[in-house]
Amino acid sequence: MERLRRTMLFMPGNNPSMLQNAGILGADSIILDLEDAVSITEKDAARILVRNAIKNVEFYGTEVVVRINPLSSSFGLKDVEEIAKAKPDAIMVPKATEEDIQIVDEMLSSIETQEGFPHGSIKIFPLIETAYGLENIDSIIRTSSRAIGVLLGAEDLTADLGIKRTREGEEIFYARSKVASTCRACKVDAIDTPFADMNDCRGFNKDIHKAKSLGLTGKAAINPRQVDTIHEVFAPAEEEIKYALRVIKAMEEAQREGKGVFSLDGKMVDAPIIARAQNVVKKAKLAGLV
Amino acid sequence: MGMDIKTPAKAGTMESNDIYVIVQPNDEGGIIIELESIVMKQFGKKIKEVILETLEALNIKNIHLSAKDRGALDYTIKARVETAVKRGM
C-alpha cells in the first residue's frame, strides 16, 4: 500500500505512556526510538518494551518504524533480532552504510521465513547522517528492495562534517538537495531532519517550507505539537488541487477528442504539467483532501 | 528444570503508566509476589495474574518479586518483569 509520509514522529522507546498514545497523535508514521532517546543502561528494557508495544498496542493504522541502535554498537543486531519478530512496518538504520543495509536485509529475510511473515514485508529506512552516507545514498538505497525512504539527520551530519548547525540551515542546503534528488530518482520518500526549537514557530514554519521547496517529501517531528503544521505545509494547497483537477479534466476531454496537446486558460498543457497534476491529485487523495 | 534468579535486579520506573519491578533470589523456593498498585482494588488480581503468566513463560520457578505499579498496561507489566528477570539471571 502506498502511504503518505508527511510526518514521522519520534517517540522515546522506554516510555510506556508515550508508546501507548503514539497512534493517536495524528502523525503519518511514528518512529519508536531505541537509539538516542534511550540511555545506555536501559537499552535492554526499551527493546523489550517496544517489542511488546508493537504486538499489543493499537496504533490505528499509523506506520510503525523502529529506530535501532547503530550496528557498530553492541545493541544494533540484538535490536533487529528482537524487534523484527514483532513485525514493525520498518526498521530505521542509523548512520547507514551499504554493509549495514545488507546485514539488516538478510536478518529480516531469515526472521520473516522463521516467523512465517511474507517475504519483504518489513521495510528499511536508512538514516543518512554521515558524509559517507550522503555521498553514497544511491547505492545505500539500492542495496535493498526493502528501502522505502531516507531520513536526513542533520545534527550528526554537521557534526561529522565539523560544521556548525544553524537555525537557518544554509549549511544543509546541499544535503537536503542531494537527499531529495536521489530519493526521487530511486522512487522513495525523502524525509527532512527535525526542527529542534519548539518555541520558534516562525523559524519552524520557514524550515518546513524550505525543505518542501527543495523536494523533500516529509519531515521528522520530535514533538506531537509539530505534526499539524508539517501536514499543512506538505499537503497540496487548495488552489493547487483545484488546478490539478481541471488539468486532468481537460486532458480527458482532449483525449476523447483525439487531441495530443491542448490548452487550459490560454496556456499549453504538456506531459510534465499533466504529470505534476496527477502527482498533486494522488497526494491530495492520500491526505483525504479530495 | 526452571531457571533461577541469581542476583537482585530491577526494571521499570515510578512514572505514570509504568511499573517498577524488583526481583531477588528466593532460597526458600517457589514464587512470592508483593504488589503495590494505584489501582489495587480494581486490577490487583489481574496484575498478579499477568506477572505470574510472564514468569511461567520465562520458566521461572523460584523468585521473590516486588512491584510498584503506576497504572501500567499488560504489555508494560510483561516487559518490565521480563527485563528484571533477564537482568537477574
- Residues of A whose CB is below 8 A from B75: 20, 49, 52-53, 55-57
- Checking if the pLDDT of A215 tops 70, the result is yes
- Residues of B whose CB is below 8 A from A45: 11-12, 79-80, 83
Q: How far, in Å, CA of B16 to CA of B39, rounded? A: 12
Domains observed in chain A: 7-234 (3.20.20.60), 238-286 (no CATH)
- What is the residue type of A44? D
Task: Give per-residue pLDDT as tens, A170-192.
Answer: 999 999 999 999 999 999 999 99
Give the rounded percent of residues in chain B with a pLDDT score beyond 70: 98
Q: How far, in Å, CA of A45 to CA of B11, rounded? A: 7
Burial (CB count within 10 angstroms: exposed 0-12, middle 13-18, buried 19+), residue A78? middle
Contact A143, A105 (CB under 8 A): yes
Burial (CB count within 10 angstroms: exposed 0-12, middle 13-18, buried 19+), residue A46? buried
Q: How far, in Å, CA of A228 to CA of A233, rounded? A: 9
Here the ipTM equals 0.96
Chain B contact for A51 (CB, 8 A cutoff): yes
Selecting from B12, B75, B83 the residue whose C-beta is nearest the C-beta of A44 gives B83
Q: How far, in Å, CA of A33 to CA of A91, rounded? A: 10
- Chain A, nearest residue to B75 by Cα: A52
- Checking if the pLDDT of A48 tops 80, the result is yes
Task: Give per-residue pLDDT as tens, A259-284.
Answer: 877 888 888 888 888 888 998 888 88
Pairwise CB contact (< 8 Å): B82 & A48 = yes
Residue B2 has what pLDDT? 63
Domains observed in chain B: 3-88 (3.30.230)
Task: Give per-residue pLDDT as tens, A126-184.
Answer: 999 999 999 999 999 999 999 999 999 999 999 999 999 999 999 999 999 999 999 99
The dihedral region occupied by A43, where left means phi > 0, alpha psi between -120 and 50, and beta the remainder, is: alpha
- Checking if the pLDDT of B1 tops 70, the result is no
The three cell numbers locating residue A75: 545493541
Please count the CA atoms within 13 angstroms of the CA of A276 that sit on its side-chain side: 13
Chain B contact for A110 (CB, 8 A cutoff): no
Across A26-51, average pLDDT: 97
- Checking if the pLDDT of A1 tops 80, the result is no
Residues 6+ apart with CB under 8 A from A191: A5, A8, A149, A150, A151, A152, A216, A217, A218, A219, A220
